[in-house]
Structure 1
């Protein structure tokens, strides 16, 4: 049994759990077997310790960081990501927390978990009222190079983008893979999905759509990684 947790301190954890259930059902049907995936909400270090993989949801990154610190979760989360190197996925605010550095933070900065050797720019696309949905091509979802894949309806809400690569201490073992870019007018394309070792991040909110493809892909990656490990 593989236990997948969703950090349930604030933000879209319920939406992630809903899509994870659908993704687990999809994988079990596709493989013709009972689901080996158990899902759980994570609010304490003890609950985190039961998990083989974890999602950090979208929400408000400063609030998530503060509540995690008050709950005694910051250091266990850092150990989970950077020492135990268990599979982790962060969406929007979750991506911010998984970066080593962040710009445009509130006065006094904020505590980060780290794991991605990048600097992220918070609220890159503006305030809540400037939220939007944009079809984005996600090549990593293709089973084969020649396969045609419908674009993903990416929901951007006060979304961050990666704006700087940082020196990597253990490259090439954990090289940064840019998985998707968002075309911008007259500027260099923004990085909106990336992976480095056990850490996966998206600027947008897959959990706020009915499209289960990224959750299916990530769960498949988790299962493969744990089996090989």
Structure 2
């Protein structure tokens, strides 16, 4: 089993480190690798990290990786996007504004960037993620975070913050507004690993 972390820009090392910890804890036979070009996309799962969504989108295009990522998603390979990764997975973003944001367009959701405004650029809050059925709240770290304005079709809400959707799943695809890799709580990465192991 090989789990890739898209390593073009953003919170790469934190995801790699947490995923390696989770794979080891599960006693699973697998490795976690950096994905820097389309030749690295021979993986059984992919994490698209937080960072700058416009930059990551442009680099995906420049490096010829877009169709390969779409192919993986279409073949039921688990893909998790956090913060900027969530934006890239969406079918629609900032609907009322002109934007140069490139989208992979894989999940049935409309996203608003920097949705919590300047006064709340970064904050941490413990939230119940009802769709994940965790026993205890999860420590969610938000950094200039997007929100999901709406979902449709087979895209399901996993959690909310102040009534705003901050986590969703559509089959093998998972999107989070927050940064689970910046906490010491491994439950989200464990859940993602369970999607990989169930394939």
1:182 to 153, 161, 170: 161
CA, structure 1 residues 73+96, in 2 after alignment: closer, same or farther (shift >3 Å)? same
CA, structure 1 residues 195+140, in 2 after alignment: closer, same or farther (shift >3 Å)? same
- The unaligned stretches of length 5 or more in structure 2 are none
Instruction: Give CA deviations for 1:161-212 in whole Å, capped at 9, x if unaligned.
Output: 111235x4xxxxxx121111112xxxxx111111011110111000111111
| Contact 2:151/2:157, CA 8 A, preserved across alignment | no
| Contact 2:49/2:83, CA 8 A, preserved across alignment | yes
| Contact 1:58/1:93, CA 8 A, preserved across alignment | yes
User: Rg bigger for which structure?
Assistant: 1
* TM score, norm. by length of structure 2: 0.93
Q: 1:142, 1:61 → 2: CA distance?
A: 29
In the alignment, what sits opposite 2:37?
44
In the alignment, what sits opposite 1:25?
24
Q: How many Å apart are 1:6 and its aligned residue?
A: 0.4
- The unaligned stretches of length 5 or more in structure 1 are 29-34, 144-148, 169-174, 184-188
* TM score, norm. by length of structure 1: 0.81
Count of residue pairs brought into register by the alignment: 199
Instruction: Give CA deviations for 1:26-63 in whole Å, capped at 9, x if unaligned.
Output: 211xxxxxx31211110111101x10110000011001
Q: Does 1:123 align with 2:114?
A: yes
| Contact 1:4/1:37, CA 8 A, preserved across alignment | yes
- CA root-mean-square deviation: 1.9
